[in-house]
Amino acid sequence: GEVYKRQREDQIERLESLSKVQRLFVPDVSHELRTPLASIRLATEQIQDAREEISDPFALRSIQVLSSSVDRFETMLTDLLDISRIDSGNVKLRLEEVDLAQVVDTVIETTQFHFDATGTELRLHLPEEPATAEIDVTRVERIIRNLVVNALEHGEGKPMDVTVAVDADAVAVRVRDHGIGMSPDVVAKVFDRFYRVTSGKRHDVRGFGLGLAYVTSVINQCGGTIIAESELGVGTKMIIRLPASEPE
Estimate the crossing angle of helix 57-88 against helix 211-221, to 10 degrees. Answer: 30
If one counts every other C-beta atom within 10 angstroms of the C-beta of residue 177, the result is 27
> Residue 78: in which H helix or E strand, if any?
helix 57-88
CA distances from residue 119 to 10, 112, 124, 157, 244 in whole angstroms, order as listed? 59, 10, 16, 6, 34
Residue 20 has pLDDT above 70, yes or no: no
Q: What is the pLDDT of residues 204-216, one digit of tens each?
A: 434 444 567 778 8
Instruction: Please tell me which residue, 31 or 148, carries the higher pLDDT value.
Output: 148
193 pLDDT exceeds 90? no
By the 8 A CB rule, do 66 and 47 touch? yes
Mean pLDDT in residue range 107-125: 91
72 within 8 A of 116, measured Cβ to Cβ = no
Q: Are strands 170-176 and 132-136 parallel, antiparallel or unpaired?
A: unpaired
pTM: 0.67
